[in-house]
Amino acid sequence: MPGGFARALEVAEARGEEQHVERGFRPGQRAAAEFHDCEQAGEHDQVHADDGRDPLRHPVSSYTRAAPRRDAMNILIALTYYRPHYSGLTVYAERLARALARRGHEVTVLTSRYLPELPAAEVRDGVRILRLDVALRVSKGVLMPGMLSRAWPLIRRADVVNLHVPQFDAAWLALVARLARKPAVMTYHCDLRLPGGAMHALANLVSNAANRLAAGLVPAIVTNTRDYAEHSPFLRRHLGKVHEILPPVEMAEPTAADVAALRARAGLVEGDRVIGMVARLATEKGVEHLAAALPAVIERVPRARVLFAGEHERVFGEEACARRVIPLVSALGDRWRFLGNLGAGELAALYRACDVTVLPSVNSTESFGMVQVESLLAGVPVVSTDLPGVRQPVRLSGRGRIVPPADPAALASALGDLLSGGGRADGDTRQLAARVAPDAVAEAYEMVFRSCQGPGAHA
């Protein structure tokens, strides 16, 4: 069976070469031509300065190519969505890929071309990005028929494969890596819990099956916290493979123009007490509970208002959530403002304008919440919910409050305390900041990658 599967992959790869022959490429030239095209795109597509534009297309930090290193690795990162898609997973993957490239590794990202206007290949910040056409969407996932034929040659050239899950293709990619005798490391972001409905149920089933199969084939699994792993029904079965690595976090330094733009967009006036939330409008974020809590907060702190940064319209797979939440928010009038996606500088300005931030997540699809760390590094306390992993930023820093999930009364009490000067607003974030620095996270990944290389390292 494995030999037949490998042969099928070789045939698929050969067919892919034939397609490129039709476009003017000879067999064997495909990779070189694509990479040349990527380099050409990269020359014109690098954006180093933060000017307040969308951070999805304009990253925080500039790319500086590292000096050549003798132990450099060819790293293939595979995931469903990559930037400019916005989610905690895509932000994590982009920061990790850039950090690995800065450290001198050759990094390729294989992902979906979920918007047809996105380039099929480009280089950004030293990272080669290859996007595959989408044939069908299933809930929040996608089906990419070209995945196996494109992944096979990339995996054969790679020193290590990094699979970010949830993704439908995880099991196939892990199997291909095993057949190619290349180590694959799974980065497990969360236990997927999608809303009700037949399509979401199918997506849950396929994703969970892919995760189970992939986990049996990989020698190592990275997750954000041991706390989450020990409470995850999936990760509990694989604790011997689990490595805790906190997610990469970086913050821009806002300019005066960023601050002015943020204040104008938010309609801030002197004396406002700002509750910030940075997220997508998604079921797991518990936005309706913040909306339900806000009237009680206003009774105690009359100038309190919410500024919500992030996608709140046309979020893939979250139409029902929007129908449920938008009427609740609309009833709050000018006490709630959606800001949309902010540029890196404006986002940093938002944190500095906040008196407190909140992450009222309700289920295990939320496994950490990098926005909490961003807030803490800006000196702003956080109110989060008592969920595995999600509670860790407040625990590690000592800044903020932890409340039960889906409890508007407890949420209102904690927010009121912090806005009134009570609660836990002190604490030390220095150790946390050191652990989430992208360079430190990339170094931790290097150690895991190297531990999986060599004889006997496969699962």
We report the CATH number of the domain holding residue 131 as: 3.40.50.2000
Residue 22: count other Cβ atoms within 10 Å of its Cβ: 7
Structure-token pair, residue 318: 């979250």
Please report whether residue 91 resides in a domain.
Answer: yes
Interacting residues of 393 by C-beta distance below 8 A, sequence separation 6+ = 368, 369, 372, 373, 376, 382, 384, 400, 432
* Dihedral sign of CA atoms 82, 88, 91, 93 in order: negative
Is 458 contained in some domain? no
pLDDT value of residue 320: 83
68 and 88 in one domain?
yes
Cα distance between residue 83 and residue 85, in whole Å: 4
Tokens of 76: 């293939």
Question: What is the CA angle 12-17-21, rounded to 5?
Answer: 145
Report CA-CA distances (Å) from 295 to 81, 304, 332, 351, 400.
37, 9, 8, 22, 21
Residues 109 and 39 in one domain: yes
332 and 393 co-located in one domain: yes
Answer yes or no: do 275 and 209 share one domain.
Answer: no
Residue 52: inside a domain, yes or no? yes
Phi, psi of 102 (to 5 degrees): -60, -30
Question: By residue range, what is the domain housing residue 151?
Answer: 2-249+437-451
Q: Does 459 map to a domain?
A: no
Distance CA 44, CA 327 (A): 43
Residues 302 and 183 in one domain: no
Task: Classify the C-alpha dihedral 213-161-139-326 as positive or negative.
Answer: positive
Strands of 336-340's sheet in order across: 336-340, 304-309, 273-278, 356-359, 382-385, 400-403
- pTM of the model as a whole: 0.83
Q: What is the mean pLDDT of each run of 10 residues along the chain (459 residues)?
A: 54 47 36 42 33 37 66 96 90 97 97 95 97 83 85 97 92 95 97 66 70 94 98 96 97 94 93 96 95 98 97 80 93 97 94 97 96 96 98 95 98 96 74 96 98 70
If asked whether residues 214 and 262 sit together in one domain, one would say: no
Cα distances (Å, whole numbers) of residue 237 to 149, 215, 339, 432, 458:
31, 10, 41, 28, 18
Whole-number pLDDT of residue 195: 58
**Residue 104 and residue 18 in one domain:** yes
Does residue 457 fall inside a structural domain? Answer: no
Pair (268, 376) in one structural domain: yes
User: What is the four-CA torsion angle of 146, 82, 199, 185, rounded to 10 degrees?
Assistant: 80
Q: Are 370 and 390 in contact (CB under 8 A)?
A: no
Residues 235 and 292 placed together within one structural domain of the fold: no
Following DSSP, what letter does each residue of 300-335 receive, concatenated? HSTTEEEEEES--SS-TT-HHHHHHHHHHHHTTGGG
Sheet strands (E) in 177-335: 184-188, 220-223, 242-244, 273-278, 304-309
User: Could you tell me the two tokens for 159?
Assistant: 């020193």
Closest CA to 446 of 73, 77, 38: 73
For residue 57, the tally of other CB atoms under 10 A from its CB is 13
Number of domains in the chain: 2
* 211 falls within a domain: yes
Residue 237 forms part of a structural domain: yes
In a domain, 234, yes or no: yes
Residues 235, 268 within the same domain:
no
Q: Tell which residue, 232, 248, 223, has the closest CA to residue 388.
A: 232
pLDDT of residue 39: 38
Distance CA 388, CA 62 (A): 34
- Let me know: does 231 contact 238? Beta carbons within 8 Å: no
pLDDT at 38: 47
Say yes or no: 441 and 431 in one domain: no
- pLDDT score at 40: 39
**Which DSSP symbol is given to 48?**
-
Asked whether residue 205 falls in the same domain as residue 218, the answer is yes
